[in-house]
Every structure is written in C-alpha cells, then in structure tokens.
Amino acid sequence: MHSASLESPRILLAHSYYLAYDPKQTQKMRPYPPLATLITASVLRQHGYEVDLFDAMLARGVEAFHSQVDAMHPSIVAIVEDNFNFLTKMCTLRMREAALDMVASARAAGARVVVNGSDAADRPDLYLVAGADAVIPGDPEPAVLDLVAAWTGSNGLKAEAVPGIIIAAPQNGETRRTAPRPALDDLDHLPFPAWDLLDAGSYRRAWTAAHGRLSWNMATSRGCPYRCNWCAKPLFGKRYAQRSPENVAGELDELRHAIAPDHVWFADDIFGLTPAWIEAFARAVSARGARTPFTMQSRANLMKPRAVAALAEAGAEEVWLGVESGSQQILNAMDKGTTVAQVREATRELRRHGIRCGWFIQLGYRGEQWPDLVATRNLVRDEWPDDIGVSVSYPLPGTKFYEQVRTELGRKTNWADSDDLAMMFRGTYVTEFYKRVRDLLHTEVRARQARDAEWDALERHEPDSRSPAGYPAPP
C-alpha cells in the first residue's frame, strides 16, 4: 500500500552513482553532476511541480538517501540515472546494489517509485521485484512527467496507460511493456538543467582540491549514428538527435553566469558530428562571449581539418577518440568503421591545432591475438597520444558482441566497479594478463610525457652566460 497522499505530490529526484563506491574514480576525483536527473527536474518544474534532489555523487553512501527520504516523506521517487555518464552505462554491481537498495527503501517509506537507467532498461525485473512501480527504458523526461500526472490524477490516465514504460502485470507479476513512445528528438524544447538544486560548492571544492579548477558537464545530443557492435544503446537507441548550436551556446552562457566553471566536459557520445555544426557553434559562442575551454569525444574519421579548426576556434582543449585497437583486423571485427590511418591523421591534425588528443583503447576483443596487441602498442609509440584510457571488452546486453560471446559467459556478467577489468568471456588471455598490458601502456605514455616535459623545461630557459656551458646556472 502507498500511504503518502498524492494530492500535492512531494517529488524526490535521485540517481544512484556514488563516487564513494568506486575506489578508482574516487582517486581520480572528477565528479560531475547528474545531468539527466537535473534536466528531468527542470521538466517537472516547467509543468508546475515542486521537486527536491538527492545527489548521490558526493554522498557517503545509501544511508544519506535513507535519511533524506525519512526527513522528506516523498510521495513519488524518480530514480533517474545520469544516462550521459559512461560509468552509469557500465552497470557495475556496486551501483546496482545501491539502486536496488534505494528502490526498496523508497517503497518501504510509502512512495511510488519509477526508475530510468541503462541497467534498469536491461534488467527491469530486478527493479520491479525490488519495489519499483515502473521502469522507463527510454528518454526519461516525458515518461516521468506522464507518470507523475497519472499518479496524481491530473491527466486522466492510469499509470498502465502511460506509453513507454515497463510495469509488472497484476495477474502474474511478469513484466509488461506499455505502448511505445516516440523518441524525444526536439531537444531544443527541453529546459536547461536545474543547477540550483545542487550543492555546487561541494563540486567546486572537490575539483579545485584535486585539479586546481572546476569542470562541469553539458550534453549537446543523444545517441550515436554509428554501429560499433560492442556498444550498448539501451536508452537512446540507434538514433542521433542534436540540439542547435545556438541553444547549446545559450546554455553555456547561462552556465557561465550560474556556476562559472573553468572547463566544460561535453558528455556526448559524439560531439558536433559535422564541421558545419561545429563552425556554427563556434560563431554562437563567440557572439555571446561565452568561450570556455572544453573536452569532448569523437571519432577519428570525423576529425577532418575543417572540423578540427572549428573545434579550436570554439575552445576545444582536448578531444578523446575511440581508437580501440591498432589492428585493422580488430577494428573491422568490431564494425568500428574507422581505419588505423584515420587514427594517425586525426591525432596529428588535432596536435597541429594545439588540441590535446586522448585515446580510448579496448583490449581483449574476440579474436585478438598477440600481433594485434603489438600493433596497438606500436600505434601508441608512433603517435604518442596525450592520454589514454584502457579497458577490456565488456559484453553488454543488447549488442551483437554480447550475442557472439553469450555462451562463453560465466556467472559474473557485470564488473563490481570501474577498476574490475575482469574478462567475462573466454578471451585469448586471462584478466591479469590484460591488466599488465594496460599498466604497461599507461607507463609508456607517462614516460613519454615526462621526457617531453623535461625537454620543454629546457627549451624555456634562455642561455645564461654565468653558466660555463651556456645553460642556466643551478639554483
């Protein structure tokens, strides 16, 4: 029984990514606000609802959520994961445990509960059994809005008539999907995130203590038009919806006044997509005087000279490319749609424009052998990216890759946390081998960076006549 009155709903928005539960990410200390959660909050406000927020990112643990529920007595709890956060998409066991705990405690407190996120979309039964009334497997904003209206009796619908949700059938408890809901493609009509619900000061303190500046997140699009066969798309599907350059520049301008970050992380799977969009964005940012250093993600085949020049003009500081492997054979097996030659040229083009280049590298893909690993190592040594992120292939439900290795999966189908790096199918080598390769690749990049820093330091010194060799005298 739901004991809370829904006449005037007390709505709590929440997410379940606790930085404290991921040692690797805690050490990195790069916390970002729950972007999707904050946009959903703004949509509810836009329609006259009052909302509160539970922000798990910098909380100590689920006990903080329990305390807020006990103090607030919400009638509706919407757990909307930050679907722009790649760590959320990873669906680690520790965060799943936290989410299920939050569902159960909210239900026990008498609240109606709806959940949206990659893991819930993949495993709705887990969340419904834990106490959720509904799971949203797509864009959260319209479905949460309709559910709140149904639960408060303000739209004349019953919850089971709300399109685009998964519920438990009352007859047998099995999951049932309601009528499909069209994808949300007109992103310019969404309000900007409800930043005022956050404790922005906590983020600023965490960032500046660790990195000397505050970085903040934005997103300009949803989805990805490419077909890498290991990449899961449980929420946004295979579409690519993009905001207008002027709308994004407007948010950047408002963010500058509301939060004043030193840097922006664009969390899109692919930022910009076309040179024309990036050029228009650069013009819109310049017109508003809102230019802010930023980092974004893209693909090697998209980093053409015109696009890179526009990125530099717009303020790009760093671009991360999904390189994955130095072996063309492995890239082809992944349906990656890029070539090793494009990786080389993209990295060099970014460097020519003074933009740092980071590479995402994936080890252990099905069929990868020692020569493929050597090809990846050699590509790193040839092009020397400014940074790398190394992972192993991770079978995610709904992907072609998952189906290829499904019969090889053991009992463990999710990593415990982001540093787990466990091989969950029968790869060529074992987990510890790939961890060693990862560490060696990182060591190579760091060693090159240290050598470059030493040479740069020498170059900055003018010859000093007081030194016999013509070099700066020792201090």
| Whole-number Å distance between alpha carbons of 131 and 107 | 6
Per the prediction, the chain carries an average pLDDT of: 92
Give the pLDDT confidence of 116-137 residue by residue, as tens digits: 999 999 899 999 999 999 999 9
Calculate the alpha carbon distances from 113 to 2, 136, 147, 261, 443 in Å. 10, 11, 10, 34, 46
Fold adopted by 11-168: Rossmann fold (3.40.50)
Determine what percent of the chain is predicted with pLDDT higher than 90. Answer: 77
pTM (two decimals)? 0.91
- Who's near 433: CB < 8 A, 6+ residues apart? none
How many other CB atoms are found less than 10 A from the CB of residue 53? 20
Select from 265, 264, 280, 337 the least CA-distant residue to 313.
280
Give the pLDDT confidence of 64-77 residue by residue, as tens digits: 999 999 999 999 99
Give the pLDDT confidence of 374-425 residue by residue, as tens digits: 999 999 999 999 999 999 998 888 889 989 998 888 888 888 888 888 898 9
Where do the domains of the chain lie?
11-168, 213-459
Equal fold, 11-168 vs 213-459 = no
Asked whether the predicted pLDDT for residue 24 surpasses 50, the reply is: yes
Gyration radius of the chain over CA positions: 24
pLDDT for the residue 135: 97
pLDDT band at 459 (very low <50, low <70, confident <90, very high): confident
Asked whether the predicted pLDDT for residue 471 surpasses 70, the reply is: no
Question: Residue type at 56?
Answer: A
pLDDT band at 234 (very low <50, low <70, confident <90, very high): low
pLDDT for the residue 398: 82
Give the pLDDT confidence of 151-209 residue by residue, as tens digits: 998 777 888 999 999 998 766 668 899 999 999 989 999 999 999 999 999 999 999 99
Give the pLDDT confidence of 265-321 residue by residue, as tens digits: 999 999 999 999 999 999 999 999 999 999 999 999 999 999 999 999 999 999 999
For 213-459, CATH number out of 3.40.50.300, 3.30.70.1450, 3.20.20.70, 3.90.230.10 equals: 3.20.20.70
175: β partners: 168
Give the pLDDT confidence of 324-370 residue by residue, as tens digits: 999 999 999 999 999 999 999 999 999 999 999 999 999 999 999 99
Q: Is-contact 346 382, C-beta < 8 A? A: no
